Amino acid sequence: MTGPQALADAFTGAFRRDPDGVWHAPGRVNLIGEHTDYNDGLVLPFALGLGVSVAAARRDDGVVEVRSRQAAAAVTAPVDGGPVVSEGWPPDRAWAAYPVGVARVLREHGTGGASLLIDSDLPQGAGLSSSAALECATALALCDLHGVQIDRPELARLAQRAENEQVGVPCGLMDQAASLLCTAGHALMLDCRSGLSAQMPFAPADSGMTLLVVDTRAAHALAGGEYARRRAECEEAASLLGVAALRDVKDLGGALGTLRDPVLRRRVQHVVTENHRVEATIGLLRAGAVPELGAMLSASHLSLRDQFEVSWPEADTAVGAALGAGARGGRMVGGGFGGSVIILTPTDRSDGVRDAVAAAYAERGWEPPEFHEAVPSDGARRVTP
Would you please indicate which residues are annotated as catalytic (active-site) residues? 175
- The residue count for the chain: 385
Using CB under 6 A as the binding rule, whether residue 175 contacts ligand GLA is answered as yes
Q: 74 phi and psi, to 5 degrees?
A: -100, 145
Q: Which stretch binds ligand GLA (CB under 6 A): 64-72, 150-158, 170-178, 234-242?
A: 170-178
Using CB under 6 A as the binding rule, whether residue 45 contacts ligand GLA is answered as no
CA distance 109 to 296: 41
Using CB under 6 A as the binding rule, whether residue 38 contacts ligand GLA is answered as yes
Total residues binding ligand GLA (CB under 6 A): 10
Hey, what's the torsion of the CAs at 118, 48, 188, 270, to 10 degrees? Answer: 100
Using CB under 6 A as the binding rule, whether residue 330 contacts ligand GLA is answered as no
Q: Which stretch binds ligand GLA (CB under 6 A): 151-159, 172-180, 253-261, 289-297?
A: 172-180
Which listed residue (51, 101, 113, 172) binds ligand GLA by CB under 6 A? 172
- Other Cβ atoms within 10 Å of 45 Cβ, number: 29
Secondary structure element (H or E) that encloses residue 148, with its range:
none
Using CB under 6 A as the binding rule, whether residue 125 contacts ligand GLA is answered as no
Q: 373 phi and psi, to 5 degrees?
A: -90, 130
Q: Which is nearer to ligand GLA, 34 or 119 (CB)?
A: 34
Transcribe 51-116 into DSSP letters: EEEEEEEEESSSEEEEEETTEEEEEEEETT-S-GGGG---GGGGGGHHHHHHHHHHHTTT--EEEE
Least Å from the CB of residue 222 to ligand GLA: 6
CA distance 173 to 159: 9
Least Å from the CB of residue 72 to ligand GLA: 27
Which listed residue (55, 174, 177, 182) binds ligand GLA by CB under 6 A? 174
Q: Which is nearer to ligand GLA, 45 or 112 (CB)?
A: 45
Binding site for ligand GLA (CB under 6 A): 34-35, 37-38, 171-172, 174-175, 334-335
